[in-house]
Structure formats: C-alpha cells, structure tokens
C-alpha cells in the first residue's frame, strides 16, 4: 500500500478518514477514496495533499 495513504483527508461513506481506527476496513476505505478521487479527475498529488513545486 502507498505510504502516503494516511495523508488522505475527507469523508468516505459519511465517515471521516482521520477518525477511523486502523483496520482492514480502513485500508479498504483509503483505496476506495483514491479510486473515487481519480475518477473525478484529481491528480495523486492533490489526493495525497502534496505541495506541487513552484519552480
């Protein structure tokens, strides 16, 4: 699994990502959130809240 997955914020099925306890269900929800955001056209940098270079 991607090490940046814990940087994802927001809600999945009305549950806040940051409030979930670590479990298999949490890992599945992270993956579900990534898929949802990718289908909306967001880049992985935006999903993982990485700052893009200004150079």
Banded model confidence at residue 24, pLDDT cuts 50, 70, 90: low
Q: Which residue has the higher pLDDT, 3 or 34?
A: 34
E-strand stretches of the chain = 11-12, 15-16
Percent over 90 (pLDDT), the chain: 9
Given this model, what pLDDT does residue 55 score? 46
Banded model confidence at residue 10, pLDDT cuts 50, 70, 90: confident
Which helix (H) or strand (E) is 46 found in, with range? Answer: helix 44-47
Banded model confidence at residue 41, pLDDT cuts 50, 70, 90: very high
């Amino acid at each position: 699994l991607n090490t940046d997955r814990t940087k994802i914020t927001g809600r999945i099925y009305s549950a806040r990502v940051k409030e979930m306890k670590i479990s298999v269900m949490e890992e599945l929800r992270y993956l579900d959130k990534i898929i949802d955001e990718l289908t909306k056209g967001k880049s992985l940098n935006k999903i993982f809240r990485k700052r893009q270079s200004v150079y």
